[in-house]
Amino acid sequence: MRILIIEDEEKLAKALKKGLLQEGYVVDCLFDGEAGQRRIALSHERYDLVILDVMLPKVNGVDVCANVRKQDVTIPILMLTAKDTIDDRVLGLDAGADDYLVKPFDFKELLARIRALLSRPSTSLPPVLKIKNIALDPSTRKAYRDGQEIALTTKEFDLLEYFIRNAGQVLTREQILNSLWDFSFDSFSNVVDVHIKNLRKKIEHGKKEKILETIKGVGYRFNK
């Protein structure tokens, strides 16, 4: 799961990022409302959740939320604020926020709010993704081959889900990096190839058919 934090207190933003990375999330941080609004507008499909501070420079969080909702962006938004009045909370929720957390807050509570927002059902996606003999359940984060569970790391599961949701398409290393790693990651690293090599061993072990195909000089394709 990929989270975008928009928070002008850099110390807090970096602390949240560190904690969320330890929980297995991919996290990007931005420090003003204008940059945050632009990132959501252009790249909201890359994210599963936005953590948005209210008091931001350039464009405040309430306006950011309201503006992206006007563009029919439906990504869950969790607002953070130092203000704890009914009117402030109503203002944020009326702007289109899905939840509201008052500073200072306990990190465990933030995690609980995040889990609740990310677990909301989506009618547009099937509960279990299936291609050939591979089945993947995003709700339990378990994968199966011929009915037998495959032991995957967090990143291997994310890779497999990404490939299945984009089955039949040739995906470049840059696309994979942008979707599953944060924006600051070194694009010249071979981390994608290493994880794909390990994933391929697990899903193709003992099988003649190649499901995860390397397209030389371009990237990879998960065959339908």
* Residue-level pLDDT, tens digit, the chain, 224 residues: 899 999 999 999 999 999 999 998 999 999 999 999 999 988 888 899 999 999 999 999 999 999 999 988 889 999 998 876 677 777 888 899 999 899 989 999 999 999 988 886 554 445 688 888 899 887 778 899 988 899 998 889 889 988 998 889 899 888 888 777 765 555 556 888 899 999 999 998 777 778 899 998 889 999 98
Cβ(144)–Cβ(153) below 8 Å: no
pLDDT on residue 31: 95
Specify whether 111 is located in the same domain as 163. Answer: no
CB within 8 Å of 31: residues ≥ 6 apart: 6, 7, 8, 10, 13, 57
pLDDT on residue 125: 46
Q: Which residues span the domain enclosing 197?
A: 129-222
Of 118, 148, 182, the residue that ends a domain is: 118
Specify whether 133 is located in the same domain as 114. Answer: no
Identify the CA nearest to 194 among candidates 145, 159, 151, 163: 159
pLDDT on residue 138: 77
Specify whether 7 is located in the same domain as 61. Answer: yes
pLDDT on residue 124: 44
Provide the terminal-to-terminal Cα distance of the chain, rounded to the nearest Å. 24
Distances (CA, A) of 196 to 46, 103, 159, 176: 20, 40, 8, 10
pLDDT on residue 182: 63
- 64 backbone φψ class: left, alpha, beta (φ>0; ψ -120 to 50): alpha
- 């297995």: which residue's tokens? 24
Cβ(33)–Cβ(61) below 8 Å: yes
Specify whether 201 is located in the same domain as 95. Answer: no
Cα torsion through 201, 206, 209, 215, rounded to 10: 20
Of 118, 144, 163, the residue that ends a domain is: 118
Whether residue 123 lies inside any domain: the answer is no
Q: How far is it, in rounded angstroms, from Cα 164 to Cα 145?
A: 13
CATH code, 215:
1.10.10.10
Whether residue 104 lies inside any domain: the answer is yes
Distances (CA, A) of 170 to 98, 136, 163, 165: 35, 20, 9, 12
Whether residue 155 lies inside any domain: the answer is yes
Whether residue 191 lies inside any domain: the answer is yes
Whether residue 124 lies inside any domain: the answer is no
Specify whether 193 is located in the same domain as 109. Answer: no
Specify whether 107 is located in the same domain as 135. Answer: no
Specify whether 140 is located in the same domain as 174. Answer: yes
Of 83, 118, 153, the residue that ends a domain is: 118
Report how many domains make up the chain.
2
